[in-house]
Each structure stands twice: as C-alpha cells, then as structure tokens.
Amino acid sequence: MKANAVKAVQREILLGFWKAHILHHASQGPVVGQWMLQELRRHGYEVSPGTIYPLLARLEEHGWLTCKTDPAGGLHARKEYSLTAAGRDVLALLQKQVEELYREVVLGEGEEENENDKGVSTPN
C-alpha cells in the first residue's frame, strides 16, 4: 500500500483501533506513553510519539483515562494513565462491538440474515 493510502487508513480507521487498544491495556494496569508506543508497534502498527501522546490526552479529556504525574519528575516526568470507571464502560461496549465486527468481517458469520434488505434496489 502506498504511504498516502496507509495514512488515510490510519486516520479514518486505525486511530479507533489504537484507542481501543490503549483502553484495553489500561484496564490491566497503568500504562505510560513509551510502553504503549512499543506495544502498538509490536502489533505491527506504525505509530509515532506525535500520535500516541495526543491520543492519550484525548482519552483523558473524555474522562476514560486518568493521568498521574510524578511530582518529583520535573518537566519530563513520566505520566501514568489508568482506566476510569467511565473508561471501563466504554471498553465493555467496545468488546461487544469488536466481537460482532470480527464475526462478520473476519469469520463471515451471519451475513445472510439481512442480505435481502440492503436498501439497494435490484434492477428487475
């Protein structure tokens, strides 16, 4: 895939995957940006620090993550992000939706159910 196309996929779709991924890992314990960056790269995503830190900040703005900064750390103190109760609700919703998506998009299950009514008029 060309670099432009990869960028478009990242912006339109993968950003959401990364956020889901962050919430998942934060549910298992506090995460820091650098670790999260490596984790996403391990999964094959090309994520830069310029992307991951704003993402973490957005999740915090939504109240899904809470951030703790070491007060003795000064300017470059590392920030630890933890999942909030609201974040846990979002993650639970995402788990259901991801499973549903996986079943249909990857496994091809349940595609006949609504096949007759796609809102597409068939010439006849």
**By the criterion CB under 5 A, which residues form the site for Zn ion?**
39
User: Distance (Å, rounded) from C-alpha 16 to C-alpha 57?
Assistant: 14
Supply the minimum distance, in Å, between the C-beta of residue 25 and Zn ion.
6
- Structure-token match 């900040």, residue found: 57
Q: Which residue is nearest to Zn ion (CB)?
A: 39
Among 77, 45, 81, CA closest to 63: 81
- Residue 43 CB, nearest approach to Zn ion (Å): 6
- Shortest Å distance, C-beta 88 to Zn ion: 17
Q: Which is nearer to Zn ion, 39 or 60 (CB)?
A: 39
Token couple for 99: 């499973």
CB of 25 or CB of 58, closer to Zn ion: 25
Count of C-beta atoms within a 10 Å radius of residue 86: 13
- For Zn ion, the closer CB: 15 or 74: 15
The type of residue at 2 is: K
